[in-house]
Amino acid sequence: MSRNLLILGAAPDLGELRDTLVRLEDTIIFALIERSQFKHNSDIYKAGKMHFKDGYRGSFVSWFLKEVEHVHAKVRRYNSPDEYPFTDNLPEPVLPPLEYPPVLVDPQNININDEIFNVYVNTVVPGITSVGDDKNYGSSATRDIECLQALSRRIHYGKFVAESKFQDPKTHDEYVRLIKEKNRDRLMELLTNTRVEELLLKRLKAKAIIYGQDLSTASLDANGNINSGCSLLATTASADASDERVKSRVNYDLVVSLYRDYVIPLTKEVEIEYLLHRLD
């Protein structure tokens, strides 16, 4: 059973954080698979395509996200230090506040959800969906919000990663010196672990291949077991499996590129911004 890292009262160690981030990989992959079952439905991302009786002038997804976050704010979702809204001017909770131990030192309240939203709408959605409009606007937007919230949580967890690294006695003094110097480049070098990133990308590809399999055509024997001749788990578990052998409900190369080109860099952006203000 995993521990609730938000109530420890001290920065969790990197091992505990990695366990949480690995579980978030599963959440993100399954959310992408769910969104990929619908067409692109590009109209839901365009402002002015739908008429709102409340006078809202943005896109359908933006309106839907705003309404969902208004409800979530009322039940204290954004009181949690690992949750960050995409919407401004949210209502106050209707429940008594929850008290979390002060683990993070974040005077700037760093939030890069605008960047996450743009990457998701302009790069991720076109990559995981087929071109067209199936009119499943509500279902598509619901899956979009699940994806956005999972990506936001994963990326902003960089604050906890940065705090854990900052507290490490082996590197603490070096971090303090670089923060005082405002040395972004050297901070980036210090917090980057290339080997961990390479292993993460390999694990992601293997997960995306396995989780994304279409088992609807699987052949079962009399005992309900998958026949050994099927090109399923045993075949596709390799991260080097070829496109010809694997039929996937989600483009697993896109999942890898999403992490390599956006999730990892944006997480590091959060870490750097957090560290630069850590001594404020």
Q: Which of 76, 197, 203, 269 is catalytic?
A: 197
| 186 is an active site residue | no
Q: Which of 35, 41, 267, 278 is catalytic?
A: 267
Q: Which of 122, 193, 227, 235 is catalytic?
A: 193
In DSSP terms, which residues pair with 220 in a beta bridge?
A: 226
| 18 is an active site residue | yes
| 193 is an active site residue | yes
Q: Which of 153, 159, 165, 205 is catalytic?
A: 165
Q: Could you identify the residue written with the tokens 């694990």?
A: 203
Q: Which of 18, 39, 74, 76 is catalytic?
A: 18
| 197 is an active site residue | yes
Q: Could you identify the residue written with the tokens 């309106």?
A: 63
| 109 is an active site residue | no
Q: Which of 154, 159, 207, 268 is catalytic?
A: 154
| 57 is an active site residue | no
| 235 is an active site residue | no
Q: Which of 25, 146, 163, 271 is catalytic?
A: 271
By CB atoms closer than 10 A (0-12, 13-18, 19+), residue 12 is buried
Active-site residues, by number, are 18, 154, 165, 193, 197, 267, 271
